[in-house]
Amino acid sequence: MNAWPDDTGWPGPVTDEECMVTHWGREIPQRMNVKNVNGNDAKCLIAYFSRPGNNYVNGTIVDLPAGNTEVIAKMIREMTGGDLFPIEAVHAYPADYTETTEVAQEELRANARPDLTRHLETPDSYAVIFLGYPNWWGTMPMPVFTFLEKYDPAGKTIVPFCTHEGSGLGRSVSDIRKICPQSAVKEGLAVRGGDVKNARDEVAGWLQDSGMRF
């Protein structure tokens, strides 16, 4: 399948060890102190959907030990000290990439809300939600829609980030704004899948620029 061609060099699949941002041979910036829109200390959640395994990256099918979005989510955790929450559907997506694109397309068409495997115990304790997902067919995977509707982040700040193969954030941010009209939805960060390993400075800069004080 050649839906999102890319001619940049794929640096190779991300290994578990490389997911530990401390192992990348770079200094970790001092942990940032996230403030919410009112300037108060904000406890932040990093909720993300990511699908490891068989994926299409820079024109090639590869096996990713950790999903691209998870790599970025863990960088954000290192930089903010936030809590990680993996968003995962009860039904597993197929191991095969192309089959997953078909299942996902059908879920999008049906406007499905797949049940989630985990329950977020204390949603009210978070003032800021970093929301991560891969671009699937121009928007978020449907389990992310489930998450937003289930935990209704009214009055909270949502900071989207996505990984993709050429479509960037697509229409995901406007979809988030539709589902969460009472949330402050910040500018999103889009990182190409093949670039996640080298995205550390970009992530740090985006956190600084995201409108919250650090």
Ligand X SMILES: Cc1cc2nc3c(=O)[nH]c(=O)nc-3n(C[C@H](O)[C@H](O)[C@H](O)COP(=O)(O)O)c2cc1C
**Where does this chain bind ligand X (CB under 6 A)?**
4, 50-51, 55-56, 64, 67-70, 97, 100-101, 104, 134-138, 163-167, 193
DSSP class per residue in 186-210? PPPEEEEGGGGGG-HHHHHHHHHHS
Structure tokens, 188: 């999103």
Q: Which is nearer to ligand X, 80 or 135 (CB)?
A: 135
Residue 200, Cα to own-chain centre: how many angstroms?
14
Q: In whole angstroms, how close is the CB of 124 to ligand X at the nearest point?
A: 27
Phi-psi region of 17 (alpha: psi -120 to 50; beta: other; left: phi over 0): alpha
Could you tell me which residues are beta bridge partners of residue 128? 44, 157
- C-alpha angle with apex 140: 138 to 144, nearest 5 degrees? 170
Q: How far is the CB of 152 from ligand X (least distance, A)?
A: 24
Taking the complex as a whole, the smallest distance from the CB of residue 141 to ligand X amounts, in Å, to 7
Q: Which is nearer to ligand X, 36 or 163 (CB)?
A: 163
Provide the strand spans (E) within 25-156.
Answer: 44-48, 53-57, 60-64, 83-86, 128-134
Which CB sits closer to ligand X, 4 or 24? 4
Reference 160, options 186, 139, 142; nearest CA is 186
Nearer to ligand X, 10 or 137 (CB): 137
Between 45 and 140, CB nearer to ligand X: 140
CB atoms within 10 A of CB 142: 22
Residue with Cβ nearer ligand X (81 or 138)? 138
